[in-house]
Structure 1
Amino acid sequence: MATKQSKAAGGAPHLTPAERAARGKAARGHTPRSSHAGFEPAEDRPDPVDILEAQSAVRVPELVPVRYGRMIESPFRFYRGAAAIMATDLAGTPHSGIRAQLCGDAHLLNFRMLASPERHLLFDINDFDETLPGPWEWDVKRLTTSMVIASRANEFSESECAGIVLATVRSYREWMSRFSAMRNLDVWYTKVDVEHLQDLAEGRLQKRGRKKLARAAEKARGRDTMQAFDKLTELVDGERRIAADPPLVVPVDQILGGVERDTFQREFRKLIGRYGRTLPTDRRNLLEQFHLVDVARKVVGVGSVGTRCWIVLMLGRDGEDPLFLQAKEADTSVLAPFAGASEYQNQGERVVAGQRLMQAASDIFLGWERVDGIDGRRRDFYIRQLRDWKGIVEPEQMIPAGLEAFGQLCGATLARAHARSGDRIAIASYLGRGDAFDRAVQLFAEDYADQNERDHQALVDAVRSGRVQAEQLAAT
């Protein structure tokens, strides 16, 4: 007699741990772990520059050369801006059929120190512009390829590079196994704070590495709203305004004039007011204690250069009580053509939902809004604080042991993020206890790093030929 399956809270059948493990193990039949090894570009693979130009066509025209200028600096900088290219390639690679919420752009610089609402310094994934449910393997492969590219930039040996990648994947696999044995609430509450990082460093890093970690934590705590206030504003006729640093920071007064500027500022105040409705009531009340003072366009990152990104200066009780918000344009995820469209019509809500699902703790001002008419068309945005204790690694200053330890931390963090949304028991069962998947992905990462170098050269050649224009500015 067949047993009747109980239903989970969402209405889907509630599978037992044994049934979920069997699902993962069965996936090895149609997608052996060894099948992830290596990468061969498809015969009809799109021209990588064509993909970049298609993205550039909907971005701020005068900022597109800045994007290309940053991407031609090095293979790693190119990789940071090439998520759409890799998404196209990943779509043709094997996967187990088990899905999780993906970061979508899980390269190593997207893992950093962040502040929790309780003012603890945590280590977590940072940017979620491309987040979408999809095959969990895609995030693992993008992370490990970034480790290869960073290792090569540091001129590490082939064996050192392989060791770093294997350690990263092993950490992901072993932590996913740990999460598979945990209760749901224990998985949800798992986080890594800086104090835990320092404890780990005692056994894994030499004295020099531990000092670097301590300095990075201290620097992260200093990157807050007050630091941004001091660095990005100036007094104009006795009032605080965002200081111009074109083309990286351009106040709206220098982009628009007269009626257009007044209309923009009026619409932007409406945006901030409506966005507040996406916050919990206590945080909405806090937001309402600030008023908008100034807005400027800001260039951020590498892959995001050319998207509409506004920084918003708000003041509270007086002129020395600032809140800096960042309103960043959210377009369709680069994964969507291959993983399926988002369930959210507003792309800003897609980003926020994915971030809240994957992060251990998210910014208290994280929300979204859709805007009509600011620049003549409808655009979706997500909003968060501009700076809130953010600390980033500097892989170019790492020795092999340091990058290996960092890779292990990234692997564990990614496993935790996937375990919150995906079937952690099935993923752990698919991965197993051996290193078959680890070694296969290590070969993939090496091959894809080669492909990234070829794609980087294609962009360099396109700039040299005049096909695209590049403007190189100071690195960020």
Structure 2
Amino acid sequence: MSELAAAKRNASAAPGPDPKTPETHEDPSMLFAGRGASAARAQRGKAARAKVPRARLADCKIEKRDPLALLEASNVGRVPELIPIRYGRMVANPFAFYRGAAPLMAHDLSKLPHSDVNVQLGGDAHLANFGLFASPERRVLFGPNDFDETLPGPFDWDVRRLAASFVIAARERGFATRDQRALVRRLCETFRERIADFSRMDTLDIWYYQFKAAGMLAIADSPEERRKELAVIEKARQQSSRSLMSHKTELVNGKLRIKDMPPLVYHVPLASPHDRKQYEGLVRRFFADYRLTLPDDRRALFDRYELVDVAIRVVGVGSVGTRCYEALFMADGECPLFLQLKEARASVLEGYLPPSRFSNHGQRVVTGQRLLQSASDIFLGWSRMHHTENDFYVRQLRDMKGAFDFASFDVEDLGEYAVSCAYALAHSMAKAGDPALINGYVGKSSAFDEAIERFALAYAEQNEADWTVLKAAVKAGRIQATPD
């Protein structure tokens, strides 16, 4: 908290050009176009309430739709044999279902009232998509860490998805309705206050600002909670390509290889030397194209490494069935670099918002991540598998990554985590969009909080009803689900 206070003290109040409302497209320069005096932009945000009052964000009257049909539609293009694993994970509980049901919520939000205040959305802002990650300076930061669905759109879509995720997680823990309401109120109040703070900061100060893991410790009320958080942070500090070597690799015929751990990590089956040669050629072309997306200094660093091995990797819940690989590189025969190659499909939001302006969805993801995160992986880039025309983005595998076990949180723990997530979301939107405009819309009163609270509780009910439909379909044999 003290870092933000210090930044606020250094904030500049210099006026700028007259404002324009950010448009719904992906040209970052246009998202920032016409940023004028903060008070004038805040007034434009306040005026946006006339078209869509904050109270209307509580609307959760979901039109009749077939949740299974929407999920099946999102399976198009996925690896068929992995789809049962996706359903096996989703059917486990309502929160696991919610994680995989971003296509459902995108459909629902598009039919409901929403603000005309647009930002670069993360697109899948649930509480499990926030966590610890590394800055290039090796600081441990906290913030959003999944950008597969990123696209410009109404800021409240991310707020509503995040708020509903806390209610669903609280229901999973058996917390009372009053506690669920309090969680959302705390999240929204923090979001409003932090957006107001960022709206008063200098533009460059916002861009440079980082929510460090130490900031989470400052939020924790009890020594026990700080101890638990510190343990997660210290564990994240130890995550690196070198730390992965001991349990991710093995020697096969004297050669270093990624260890097979089926069904989640395994090598592409190659029937003949000809197939292997062809496959290796495709992989090397992929990385040659990826290399060109790196800045010159990172390219020079990447050139020090030699490709050793590639394996298939099954990840996430919503991502299950998409193509994902991990690659092992070595420098000087003893310095490892693990990269993750993750397929980038069209965002689930694209059916309801203007499509990406990028021809490669990997570039869409990378650009969104760089806009929304306070710092991004030095090896972040994109490429395409030309034989299939599938787009991918590339990043380091588990580099100082850390996640909190919210399934074990008590009410106060979850409330403190909600504060951290709200803080991080506010900074992402302030960095990628116009915090004064958002501040003008959400305002100083609790009206915004009350609307999001009502929406989140109602959508948690809808989510559970949709999960029940999936469970019934699995039980009836209509859908095949393979548990992990």
Question: Which of the five TM-score ranges fits, normalised by the shorter chain?
Answer: over 0.9
1:40 equivalent to 2:55? Answer no
Q: What's the offset of the Cα at 1:259?
A: 2.2
Query: Contact conserved, 1:177 with 1:428, CA < 8 A, in 2?
Result: yes
Of residues 368, 381, 386, the one that matches 1:367 is 381
1:78 aligned counterpart, secondary structure: helix
> What RMSD in Å do the two structures reach over aligned CA positions?
1.7
Give, in whole Å, the separation in 1 of the partners of 2:35 and 2:129: 34
Which of 210, 230, 243 is 1:227 aligned to?
243
Counterpart pick for 2:363 among 325, 346, 349: 349
| Counterpart in the other structure of 2:8 | none
Are 2:307 and 1:292 aligned? Answer: yes
CA contact (8 A) 2:339 2:395 kept: yes
Which string of whole-angstrom CA distances, capped at 9 and with x for unpartnered residues, describes residues 366-397 of structure 1?
00012211xxx211100000110111011111
In the superposition, relative to structure 1, how do residues 277 and 76 fare at CA in structure 2: closer, same or farther (>3 Å)? same
Work out the CA distance in 1 between the residues paired with 2:35 and 2:377. Answer: 32
Residue of 71, 83, 91 corresponding to 2:102: 83
Tell me the CA shift for residue 459 of structure 1. 1.0
Give me the whole-angstrom Cα distance separating, in 2, the residues matched to 1:25 and 1:6. 16
Q: Pick the aligned partner of 1:418 from 429, 439, 443.
A: 429
Question: What secondary structure sits across from 2:437 in the alignment?
Answer: helix
Partner of 1:107: 126
Give the alignment of 1:316-331 within 5 angstroms: 316-318=331-333, 320-331=334-345
Seen in structure 2, the aligned counterparts of structure 1 residues 103 and 186 have a Cα distance that, compared at 3 Å, is: same
1:388 aligned residue (382, 399, 414): 399
1:31 maps to a residue whose letter is: V
Distance 2:295 2:214 in 1: 29
Deviations 1:200-234 (A, max 9, x none): 32xx2x22211101110111112221222222111
Residue of structure 2 equivalent to 1:434: 445
Q: After the TM superposition, which of the residue ranges 437-446 and 460-469 deviates more from structure 2?
A: 460-469
Deviations 1:98-145 (A, max 9, x none): 100000000001110111110111111101000000000000000000
* CA displacement, residues 343-378 of structure 1 (integer Å, 9 cap, x when unaligned): 1111000000000000000000000012211xxx21
Residue in 2 that maps onto 1:21 = 42
Shift of 1:261: 2.6
Q: Which residue of 2 aligns with 1:275?
A: 290
Please state if 1:68 is matched with 2:82. Answer: no
Q: Distance in 2 between matches of 1:250 and 1:257?
A: 17
Deviation at 1:14, TM superposition (A): 4.8
Cα deviation for residue 55 of structure 1 reads 1.9
TM (norm. structure 1) is 0.94
Name the aligned partner's letter for residue 405 of structure 2.
Answer: E
> Cα offset for 1:5?
6.3
**In percent, how many aligned pairs have the same letter?**
45
What is the alpha-carbon distance in structure 2 between the residues aligned to residue 182 and residue 256 of structure 1?
Answer: 60
Q: Which whole-Å CA distance do the structure 1 matches of 2:354 and 2:271 have between them?
A: 38
SS of residue matched to 1:369: strand
Moved more, 292-301 or 255-264: 255-264
Q: 1: distance between equivalents of 2:62 and 2:370?
A: 34
SS of residue in 2 equivalent to 1:351: helix
The 3 A distance-change label for structure 1 pair 30 and 255 is: farther
Matches within 5 A, 1:118-267: 118-201=137-220, 204=221, 206-252=222-268, 254=269, 257-267=272-282
Alpha-carbon distance in 2 for matches of 1:14, 1:72? 46
- Displaced runs of 4+ in structure 1, greater than 6 A? 4-9
Measured after TM superposition, the shift of residue 257 of structure 1 is 4.3
2: CA distance, partners of 1:402 / 1:299: 30
2:415 is the counterpart of 1:404 = yes
The letter for the 2-side match of 1:50 is A
Partners of 1:466 and 1:435 in 2: CA distance: 47
Shift of 1:19: 2.6
8 Å CA contact 1:327–1:384 kept in 2: the answer is yes
User: 5+ unaligned residues in a row in structure 2: which ranges?
Assistant: 1-15, 21-28
Taking the aligned partners of 1:136 and 1:462, their CA distance within structure 2 comes to 34
